[in-house]
Amino acid sequence: MPWRLLRFALNKKHPEPRMFTFHEKLKSSYDVVIIGAGGHGLAAAYYLAKEHGITNVCVLEKGYIGGGNTGRNTTIIRSNYLTPEGVQFYDESVKLWQDLSTDFDLNLFYANRGHFTLAHTDSALRTMRWRAEVNKHYGVNSEVVGPEVVKEAAPMIDLSCAGHAPILGALYHAPGSVARHDAVAWGYGRGADQRGVEIHQQTEVLGIDVQAGKVKGVNTSRGYIATNKVLCAVAGSTPRILKMVDVKTPIYIHPLQAMVSEPIKPWLDPILVSGSLHVYISQSARGELVMGASLDPYELHGTRSTLDFVEGLSTHMLEMFPFLSGVKVMRQWAGMADMTPDFAPVMGKTPVEGFYLDSGWGTWGFKATPVCGKTMAHTLVNDTPHPLITGFSMDRFRNYALTGEKGAASVGH
């Protein structure tokens, strides 16, 4: 070991600054309390501080920063959705992503790769065409391409998919990208922290004090906090929090699993998704193949992994890429996805005054992190939903006016 490194390690006063300020105690009151220090919650805190000058904000986190679905997704960023609401919303998000590394002064490893959604049937190809046209109408770069373009972008692919599901074409979305997901939470967290927002990890919310239909405070495992505004951004734990304020929603929780292979030489540049085979795959900067499939088939409030998942996903992977048969799976994990019946989020105000919701992000939340933070910050400050999220209000169910976003990942359609 070099002498300087040893001296550095033994030195009690490290010159490196900590990324986040440690706060010994909670204050007795805050202007805004955000539950959940994942990407969405921290992004909201960041934009509250940066764009609205509200810094008396506390972010409460049961576990650690970015330990929920922010650190469990497969890091794909895209905006080729199907409904006008979805396309506009995610497109705004993709634009925000592109400047984020500079904004944070932190390398997010944002890599523009191009994104193919493979079509194995005529009906799938029709849906691709529809998505491409909706996208183009809103100025989003999407087009339908033939199998030869897929082969050129990913030469190792078996276009017949072992003869079971020949690839007829694909929806190609050039802005499709990947980014390092933990860094997104850290970047937003540090940015908020530097502007005076307090992040309290290992602090669980035990109850929400609602009096006469208004939020008055939050009970935590480290004491009571008075506040008039609470933002709930807790993904798979949303129903638990909603139970505390007695608000009913259609949100239900199914686990979503993913896995990575051992690192191998770079061979796959684009991101590939196959709805029919339930596979999505990209190669990370480290060379690991990041793979996901579809939602687990029943409700569960836990993050256990199953062998069924690895078997099923590997089978389909080998149909697409037979040469991977010798590659080992390195690890697998799961996240709790908060699903909605129309595959669109539930965002904005709730019947409880001062209680705001950023939820229903199921399998599609990571790519929306920046725009969610921005629109929720706007919603909290103005007490009216941001124009981009009016289509995602919880009233839509009572009014039978669902959004019908079928461009979401990991769901069959």
Residue ranges in contact with another protein by CB under 8 A: 238-240, 242-243, 248-253, 297-302, 304, 308, 338, 341, 397-400
Q: Which residues of 45-81 are buried (b: 16+ CB within 10 A; e: fewer)?
A: bbbbbbeeebbebbbbbbeebbbbbbbbbbbbbbbbb
User: Please, which residue, 229 or 316, has the CB nearer to another protein?
Assistant: 316
In angstroms, what is the minimal distance from the CB of 341 to another protein?
6
Sign, Cα dihedral of 133, 136, 140, 144: positive
The length of the chain is 413
CB 402 within 8 A of CB 391: no
The conformational region for residue 79 under phi > 0 = left, psi -120 to 50 = alpha, else beta, is alpha
Q: How far is the CB of 299 from another protein (least distance, A)?
A: 5
Query: Using CA of residue 298, residue 300, residue 305, residue 306, what is the dihedral sign?
Result: negative
> CA 369, CA 273: separation in Å to the nearest integer?
21
CB of 315: closest distance to another protein in angstroms?
Answer: 13
**Is 147 or 250 the residue whose CB approaches another protein more closely?**
250
Smallest distance from the beta carbon of 336 to another protein, in angstroms?
10
d(Cα 379, Cα 373) in Å, to the nearest integer? Answer: 10
Q: How far is the CB of 274 from another protein (least distance, A)?
A: 21
Between 174 and 402, name the residue whose CB sits nearer to another protein.
402
Q: Please tell me the distance from the alpha carbon of residue 197 to that of residue 106, in angstroms, as a whole number.
A: 19
Question: Nearest distance from residue 302's CB to another protein, in Å?
Answer: 6
Q: Which is nearer to another protein, 42 or 242 (CB)?
A: 242
Q: Which is nearer to another protein, 147 or 404 (CB)?
A: 404
Cα dist from 155 to 13, 146, 151, 215, whole Å: 52, 14, 5, 57
Residue type, 353: E
Shortest spacing between CB 385 and another protein, in angstroms: 19
Distance CA 371, CA 113 (A): 21
Query: For the sheet containing 198-200, what is the strand order?
Result: 198-200, 57-60, 32-35, 229-232, 355-359, 346-349
| Helices 181-194 and 39-52: angle between axes, nearest 10 degrees | 30
Task: Kindly state the smallest distance separating residue 355's Cβ from another protein, in Å.
Answer: 16
CA 209-45-60 angle, to 5 degrees, is 45
Neighbours of 155 (CB within 10 A): 9
Work out how close the CB of 189 gets to another protein at its nearest, in angstroms, rounded to a whole number.
27
Backbone angles phi, psi at 114, to 5 degrees: 85, 145
Three-state secondary structure call for residue 287: coil
To another protein, the closest distance from the beta carbon of 89 in angstroms equals: 21
